[in-house]
Chains A and B, each alone.
Chain A
Amino acid sequence: MKPFEFVRAGDVEQACQLLADRGPDAVVIAGGQSIMPLLKSRSLTPAVLVDISRVPGLSGLRQRNGSGALLGPTTTYRELLRATDSPRQPQALLAECARNITDLQVRAVATVGGSACFAAAAYDMPPALTTLDAGFTLCRAGGGQRRVGAQEFFLGARRTARAEDELLTEIDLPALPAGTGWAVERFAAHQGFAAIAWVGARVGLNSDGSCRALRVVLGAVEPTPVLVDTADFAGAELDGAALAELAATAAAQVQPVGDPLWGGATYKRELVRTLTQRALDRAMVAARSALAPPFPPPSPPPAPTAPAPSASPVEES
């Protein structure tokens, strides 16, 4: 690590002003999941570190009635997991990914926005946010701000639409319409490790079971998340054959970047096919169950009596 100036920003304006004044010498830090190893190895030697982890209003999740959720960029994975209680909430897709990111200690400090802005090719958040079609609000000193959609936000490995003097202040997650099912499949060397291939699938069904919306996003295979072109499947009935064809389409469309350690392009393409198929299968099940009427309220629990003397045959097997 090289010496640097450390400034803990008190509000968004102060942080933006620092970025405007110090330009490329300033680096924003929130949880430090990505930045700390780079600082330690001296791969990154900023003159000033702008810590936004305690800026009020940048953290937490606000549910918007019927129109999705607003996510503060410094929300940690742990907070995200705690703020999720139904798969119908859009943040549930992020939370499912967060569960598999590194370990408990890192999940307690690493942030969603930090991961999105660092935008490493193997990270989960860029494709997950793309699957949700999230929007990113970027602020400048003086109050200027703009909103960038997920597909325009991720420009390359470790490259986003955020300019050096901009701060990510909000991520909006559009609501999942009724009849939407989603699933994420990732393959990694071990649980908690970076993905070698990542697939997110969203299926929206009409009440008659026909396909209304379809979104398949691939991660960790190209420098940026890949939105699979599913135009050919619009309105089609998504039976088993169609899903298999869709998986093959995804594998055919992707141009994987091979890696000497984690898998060549051919292997990654095969993984995309398998994972897309699996994600679609699960998303279809979820979508169908989202269409089904809600479960009847649970029957009252049986009175706490002594365990039944004869166990059921299912338990025995």
Chain B
Amino acid sequence: MSNLLAQSDAPYVGRPVPRKEDLVLVTGSGKYCADLRFPGMLYARVLRSPLGHARIARLDTAPALKVPGVVDALSHQDIAGKVEPWGDLCSDLLIGDRMPFATGKATYYGQEVAAVLAADKFAAQDGLEAIEVDYEELPAVVFPDQAAGPDAPTVNDDLSREFGYGNVFDEYRIRTGDAEAAFDRADLVVKGKFRMGAQVAASLEPHACIAQYDPSTGKLTVISTTQSVFLLRDLIAKAFHIPRNNVHVMTAPQLGGGYGQKLQLFGHEAIACLFAMRSGRPVYLELDRHEVFAAGARRASQVRESELFLTRDGTILGYREVIYHNAGANSHWANQIIRIGTQVGMLPYKSMMANLHIDGHITYTNTSPVGALRGFGTLQTIFPKEVLIEYAAAHLGMDPMQLRRQNAMRAEDAPCQTPLGQRIDTTSLDICIDRVAEASRWRQEKASPTPYEGVGNANCMKYTSCRHPSLDSDLDAVRLRLETDGTVRIFSSGVPQGQGHETFMSQIVADELGLEPEKVQVVSADTERVPWGLGTWGSRAAAITGSALMIAAGRIREKLFKIASHMMEVPAEDLQVGSNKVYVRGNPDRGMWIEQLALLCAYRTHQLPPDVEPGGIEATATFDSPTDREDPNGCGNFSLTYSCHSDVAKVRVDPGTGAIKLVDYFQAFDCGTIINPLIVEGQHQGALMMGVGQVLGEDLVYDDRGVLLNGSFRDYYFPVASDFPDLNNHINVPAPSFTSLTGAKSVGEGGTVPPPAAIANAIADATGIYMTKYPIYPEDMLLALREKERLGVDRLVWPPESIQVVKDACTAAATPADDNPAAAAPPSAGAAPAGGSTLGGRA
């Protein structure tokens, strides 16, 4: 199989081909779920729990049926025993903790309690207001570390327990080498407690679906804003016990953003199906913005207690961590997020990965269930590590970027296998670090600092698709059809949400078949038309779907060569494609139009060679990544290949208000072969904005009763255009993958991963304040600055005491510059430095 990188003269791959998708989008002529109408369509609305945790003492939907326009009303009472619960796989067993409606008690704010079907949305809303519910409020728990404790209220109490205890429904672990021995060998051990918030994607298009049921055939058709038509189909079929060939799932022609958050069977989708089956009429159900915030999935918030072991020369020896992972009230995706996010997030510091001891507690809380979201657990993983490195570097008197550089994976290390089992085929991380330092003028910034301005660096490596612990599959399949006029249709289960699938897929196929991209078209995801595949999420499209496309296109090319070779009496090995032709290598005038060959195969079948199957030329191909399942120690190579990022943030802090202004931002990255630089640029810009939003404000805030306080764009602290500097400081250092047939690595997600740590580190550089929780609000910043003034110290950790020096043997070889004799405690004594949370020992 040809590697696209080798064809540097490829006509389309690698070129900034304008996106085919944009005309429809910028002219507003796209058709989203809300634009579709079906005769007799009815509208449903969902009544949601106004409390975080409450027993439903009484629920009566009958009054709703008396409201004019209302057709039907439903609650758990109407469907008990008729729907099979669904959920995530834990320890390879399904944990069925999800139902269309709350069963007996509501476990989070926004959970589906009842629903109404009516002639229009307003009548449906009137119906909801008529439903009578009496709640008996129960104590709620919203933080994962509290939920894991012995006294926490139990979130889901009637689940059959095959694993877990209390609210902890599964455990996670990584073991490599000997972390205890690494601790003993370390000269410096820093430990911190970190809190990471719960971002929501807030896609422009809210979650919506249309369900239709044909009572005569028993066929259920669902048009949904889903990122995976086959996963949704299989979940619906299983929940309702319908044969899978009688469930038809597709998307509307356009999907206005997904980011991972439209990747599960939601309660509202099940409710729409139920109403459709009961009424026999098409049912439209759309979430409003508040519902999207409250129940449309969110990022997994986490608490991490992390310990970093280093030698005095800055070599990282190992890492120990306890993770409290907030899954929300249901298990969706939570298990996958902590596993993949943590394992991949342990990259890229080589010697650190040799000695890991990580335990994770995956807990239920009375908050909205998590979903996949751009970055998938890696942001939460790298934040504590990168902040501890920043702190340790200051303690050791080293430049933090230099410390990272000396520990990071280098280009010449690849190919290699890490102690965690990851197979790194290629990388350019060390070059990225050097290049980002140069572009951001790192040395100059560090040498002549401006008050209240600072620079911060963070690095990561990022998966490119993944073999999920719950899915022993990392494949995509495509079917290509060469039409009889030489145009091509791609049938793919990929669901474009703005990523430019049609453009980049067209580029790949165009080059493989010697056509122009205009001749290639993509058929939207539809379980009745496209081959079975996993859909679009987890940075899979360019590498996995792209590889399948190359195989399929190769098969079509083989067939074209066979026919052309027969017709032209030239050996197939001497043929090549280009300019819409199959021609003799080096002689473009001696060839046949691809259109002619396609016509021949369908309409002039007696002219075909005997070993060519007549008919329309089609090829189906599957690419399943050569990856591993997780072993009991959390090791294995889950990902096809790994992209990398090295970022530098420059911030300015206003000492009067605590406002944190992002002044400049630099992204250096390797995403392998770039198929379309325009798309890559857009992905990196968008990913950066999402990462910045996460650290400077985005978080779902619950009160201690589990009531969501900021479920609107007015109250959710969302970055806007004026918050951003130039988004075009991109430094591309490609190290094309050789495990992905396209040479491409992940692009869409990696940019979200470093910003929280890079910005927190820049704040530390600007103010001497090390932030251990994000979002970092101006309030935190100002209160920390005032506290630092009050204490009269150079450095401070915020919240107080959240980072400690657990062991410090560096001063045993005391240099004259060292002014902290207190730190020369016995190596294993675990003494905190003088001055509590402030950083002693720095000259």
Chain A contact residues, CB within 8 Å of chain B: 1, 42, 187, 189-192, 194, 260-261, 263-264, 266-267, 270-271, 274-275, 277-278
Query: A271–B715 Cα gap in the complex (Å)?
Result: 19
Within 8 Å of chain A (Cβ to Cβ): is B6? Answer: no
- Contact, CB under 8 Å: B656 / A260: no
Chain A proximity of B661: nearest CB distance (Å): 11
Closest 4 pairs (CB-CB, A-B): A274-B656, A267-B779, A263-B779, A190-B720
For B783, list chain A residues within 8 Å (CB): 266-267, 270
Q: Which residues of B contact A267 (CB under 8 A)?
A: 658, 778-779, 782-783
A190 touches B125 (CB 8 A): no
Instruction: State whether the Cβ of B709 lies closer than 8 Å to any Cβ in chain A.
Output: yes
**Interchain Cβ contacts under 8 Å between A and B, 12 examples:** A42-B125, A190-B720, A190-B723, A261-B701, A261-B710, A261-B717, A263-B779, A264-B779, A270-B782, A274-B657, A275-B656, A278-B656
- Please measure, in the bound complex, the distance between the C-alpha atom of A261 and the C-alpha atom of B782, giving whole angstroms: 15
Cβ contact within 8 Å between B720 and A191? yes
Report the Cα distance A39→B242, complex, angstroms: 42
Q: Kindly report which residue of chain B lies nearest to residue A41, judged by CB atoms.
A: B290
Q: Is B31 an interface residue (CB 8 A)?
A: no
Asked if A189 meets B697 with Cβ closer than 8 Å, knowing A260-B703, A261-B715, A274-B657, the reply is: yes
B448 within 8 A of A: no
Give Cα distance in the complex from A277 to B654, angstroms.
14
- Determine the chain A residues whose CB is within 8 A of the CB of B659 once the complex forms: 187
The answer to whether residues A190 and B657 also contact, given A261-B710, A270-B786 and a CB cut-off of 8 A, is no
A215 shortest CB reach to chain B, Å: 22
Q: Does B815 contact A (CB under 8 A)?
A: no
Using known A-B contacts A267-B782, A270-B786, determine if residue A191 contacts B722 with beta carbons closer than 8 Å.
yes
Are B122 and A1 in contact, CB atoms less than 8 angstroms apart?
A: yes
Judge whether B719 and A190 touch: CB under 8 Å. yes
CA distance A71 to B709 in the complex (A): 37
Bound CA–CA A275/B658 (angstroms): 12
Q: How far is the CB of A144 from chain B (nearest CB, A)?
A: 38
| Chain B positions within 8 Å of A275 at CB level | 656-657
Tell me the nearest residue of chain B to A42, going by C-beta: B125
Min CB distance B786 to A, Å, is 7
Report if A189-B717 is in contact (Cβ < 8 Å); known contacts: A261-B709, A261-B710, A278-B656.
yes
Contact with A along B495-514 (1 / 0, CB 8 A): 00000000000000000000
Q: A residues within 8 A CB of B786?
A: 270
| B393: min CB distance to chain A, Å | 30
- Residue-wise interface mask of B (702-745) relative to A, using a CB-CB cutoff of 8 A (1 in contact, 0 not): 01000001100011011110110000000000000000000000
Name which residue of chain B comes closest to A37, CB basis. B714
Interface string of B447-488 (1 = CB under 8 A from A): 000000000000000000000000000000000000000000
Nearest Cβ on chain A to B416's Cβ, whole angstroms: 45
A192 touches B720 (CB 8 A): yes
Chain A nearest Cβ from B360, distance in angstroms? 29
| Contacting residues, chain A, for B722 (C-beta < 8 A) | 190-191
The distance from the CB of A122 to the nearest CB of chain B, in whole angstroms, is 10
- The interface on chain B, measured as residues whose beta carbon lies within 8 A of the other chain's beta carbons, has a size of 25
Q: How far is the CA of A270 from the CA of B786 in the complex (A)?
A: 9
In the complex, how many angstroms separate the beta carbon of B198 from the nearest chain A beta carbon? 14
- Whether A260 touches B782, Cβ cut-off 8 Å, given contacts A189-B717, A190-B723, A191-B722, is no
B714 partner residues in chain A, CB cutoff 8 A: 194
A271 to B658, CA, bound (A): 9
Provide the B650-666 mask, 1 if CB < 8 A to any CB of A, else 0.
00000011110000000
CB distance from B782 to the nearest CB of A (A): 6
A194, B715: Cα distance in complex, Å: 10
By a CB distance below 8 angstroms, the chain B residues around A189 are 697, 717
List chain A residues, Cβ under 8 A from B779.
263-264, 267
Residues of A near B717 (CB, < 8 A) are: 189, 261
Closest Cβ neighbor of A263 among chain B residues:
B779
Q: CA separation between A42 and B288, bound complex, in Å?
A: 14
What's the Cα separation between A190 and B722 when bound, in Å? 8
Question: Min CB distance, A88 to chain B, in Å?
Answer: 28
A295 to B722, CA, bound (A): 35
Query: Which residues from 738 to 790 on chain B have a C-beta closer than 8 Å to any C-beta of chain A?
Result: 777-779, 782-783, 786
Which chain A residue shows the least CB distance to B718? A190
Interchain nearest-CB distance for A166 vs B (Å):
29
A187–B718 alpha-carbon span in the complex (Å): 16
Measured between alpha carbons, how far is A260 from B786 in the docked complex, in Å? 20
Contact yes or no, B657 A187, CB < 8 A: yes
Q: How far is the CA of A261 from the CA of B778 in the complex (A)?
A: 11
Instruction: Closest A residue to B656 by CB, please name it.
Output: A274
- In the assembled complex, the Cα of A42 lies from the Cα of B720 at a distance in Å of 28
Closest to A194 in B: B714
CA distance A192 to B783 in the complex (A): 24
Complex contacts, B125 vs chain A, CB 8 Å: 42
Q: Which residues of A contact B782 (CB under 8 A)?
A: 267, 270-271
- Determine if A260 and B723 form an interchain contact, defined as CB atoms under 8 angstroms apart: no
User: Smallest Cβ distance from A38 to chain B, in angstroms?
Assistant: 12
Whether A260 lies near B657 (C-beta < 8 A) is: no
Q: Kindly list chain B residues whose C-beta atoms are within 8 Å of the C-beta of A270.
A: 782-783, 786
Residues of B within 8 A of A187 (CB): 657, 659, 778
Neighbouring B residues of A264 by C-beta, 8 Å: 779
Bound complex: CA A154 to CA B697 (Å): 32
Additional pairs, 5, CB under 8 Å, beyond known A190-B723, A267-B778: A190-B719, A263-B777, A266-B783, A267-B783, A270-B782
- Docked complex: B657-710 residues within 8 A CB-CB of A: 657-659, 697, 701, 703, 709-710
Contact between chains at A260 and B720 (CB < 8 Å):
no
Instruction: Give Cα distance in the complex from A267 to B786, angstroms.
Output: 10
In the bound assembly, the distance between CA atoms of A194 and B122 in angstroms comes to 30
Distance in angstroms between the alpha carbons of A270 and B723 in the assembled complex:
23
Report Cα–Cα, A267/B785, bound state, in Å.
11
Q: How far is the CA of A89 from the CA of B95 in the complex (A)?
A: 68
Contacts of B719 in A (CB 8 A): 190
Task: Please measure, in the bound complex, the distance between the C-alpha atom of A192 and the C-alpha atom of B720, giving whole angstroms.
Answer: 10
Separation in Å of the A271 CB from the closest CB of chain B?
6
- Of the candidates A194, A264, A274, the one having the most CB atoms from chain B within 10 angstroms of its own CB is A274
Q: Measured between alpha carbons, how far is A267 from B656 in the docked complex, in Å?
A: 11
Cα of A278 to Cα of B656 in the assembled complex, Å: 9
**Closest residue on chain A to residue B722 by CB atoms:** A191
Give A270's nearest chain B residue, CB to CB.
Answer: B782
The docked-state distance in angstroms from the alpha carbon of A187 to that of B710 is: 19
Closest Cβ of chain A: how far from B778's Cβ, in Å? 8
B290 CB, nearest partner CB in chain A, Å: 8
* Neighbouring B residues of A191 by C-beta, 8 Å: 720, 722
CB closest residue in chain A, given B780: A267
Taken together as a complex, chains A and B put the C-alpha atoms of A290 and B722 apart, in Å, by 32
B121 smallest CB distance to A (angstroms): 10
From residue A277, how far is it (CB to closest CB) to chain B in Å?
8
Chain A residues near B122: list those with CB within 8 A.
1
CB-based nearest A residue for B290 = A41
Instruction: List the B side residues contacting A274 at CB < 8 Å.
Output: 656-657
> Considering the chains assembled together, what is the distance between the CA atoms of A140 and B171 in angstroms?
70
Expressed in whole angstroms, the minimum distance between the Cβ of A247 and any Cβ of chain B is 10
CA distance A264 to B783 in the complex (A): 10
Q: How far is the CA of A190 from the CA of B701 in the complex (A)?
A: 18
**CA of A189 to CA of B703, assembled, Å:** 21
Which residue of B has the minimal Cβ distance to A273? B656
* Distance of B658 from chain A, by nearest CB (Å): 8
Bound state CA distance, A279 and B717, in angstroms? 26
Which residues from A are CB-within-8-Å of B657?
A: 187, 271, 274-275
